[in-house]
Amino acid sequence: MDKTRLENYAKLIVRSGLNVQDGQEVLIQCSLDQPEFVTMVVEECYKSGAKRVTVKWSHMPVSKVNYIYRSLETLSEFTDTERAEWQYRVDKLPCLLWLDSDDPDGLAGTDSQKIASANMARFPSIKPFRDAIENKYQWCIAAVPGKEWACKIFPGIPAEEAIEKLWDAILLCSRVTEDPIAEWDNHNKNLAMRCKFLNDYRFDKLEYKSLNGTDFVVGLNQKGIFCGGGETTLGANIYFNPNIPSEEVFTSPMRGRADGKVVSTKPLSYQGKLIENFWVEFKDGKVIKVGAEKNQDVLEKMVAMDEGAAYLGEVALIAYDSPINNTGILFYNTLFDENASCHLALGRGFNNCLENYEQYSNEECEKLGINSSMIHVDFMIGSKDLSIVGVTKEGKRVQIFKDGNWAF
């Protein structure tokens, strides 16, 4: 891969994604893939003024062995070391970068119930720390190729060639041009325009229909707003881009207002297992039934992780004719596939999708209708014929999506 393109990608991640400021600390979480690129990113963080950059490596095969051999009791422990790490994040608010290269099938063969039970047991200990830093720090998720991931997308060719093709796809979808920072500035302006259009209408609900069986109505929050592109931290007021790539305009719907059936249009990789050809049915906001051709048990366990896991936390609008979808590649990775077409998310909602959210506590946001959960899992429902109509409280109907794309 051309070094200049990778350097531009590293600059985009650090300067537009995280927007690292003078004197800030940075925490990078990544797998044992592309160490040369990770080194580029670390150096770029220091060039941007970071005072300390910490890289936390992981390896999915090791995680798999842990899940297989460790007892549920030890997997459920929240250790003193982890507590200290979370307290460090509360005290220092380091920028957090996750470079994703995971194998979509990397945890196949593990006990999904065991993993779910361990996560459920740990969540009450983690939640107070997570709540304390919510919306106060810069974070970014971006991707680099992993060998298994690349070979999953491009089977039947040598691994090195597959990795090179995945690099090309990642850089294309991430808008890495000769000046990607300027490209992203323009992209964010376009997303902001769409948000303004939707927010000016103050829609009460959205109606979804598709020939694949999607027939669904979701109620929006009276105090809710649509967001997209970059975000701004509370307190320090630093603008950053949390997802690279990102094509979505999104909001958190009103908890308890969702009815009907949605049919997935792409597989979902969850906890290292692929859920394929699935559907979800809602009543009064809650999932009442699911079905899947593959790994239905994983889907069922996911929506039962806690009380909020069966409710929606996000509604996201993305044109079917998006740069990611137009590659024709199924990435088997939520970061990319969720930005290929419209999606929903089960679980945790976003406080910053409430107008003037900074005036409310986490508890007040929940009372105003923002769903709370230990999970936030996106799944794709965008199709070529998808229709979405916005309906105001006065009954005015506005076509938002037609034939899978923006209608305005």
DSSP string, 194-239: HHHHHHHHT-SEEEEE-TTS-EEEEEPPTTB--EES-EE-TTT--E
Residues of the chain with pLDDT under 50: none
Residue-wise pLDDT tens digits, 212-255: 999 999 999 999 999 999 999 999 999 999 999 999 999 999 99
Measured distance CA(126)–CA(244) in Å, rounded: 26
Q: What is the pLDDT of residue 1?
A: 81
Residue-wise pLDDT tens digits, 33-62: 999 999 999 999 999 999 999 999 999 999
Looking at CATH, the fold of the domain delimited by 3-173 is given as Thermophilic metalloprotease-like (3.40.1830)
Alpha-carbon distance values, 296 to 262, 282, 290 (Å): 15, 17, 8
Q: What is the pLDDT of residue 334?
A: 87
Q: What is the pLDDT of residue 389?
A: 98
- Where are the domains positioned within the chain? 3-173, 202-228+245-406
Q: What is the pLDDT of residue 204?
A: 98
Q: What is the pLDDT of residue 183?
A: 96
In 330-385, at which residue ranges do the beta strands (DSSP E only) sit? Answer: 343-347, 376-380
Measured distance CA(259)–CA(287) in Å, rounded: 9
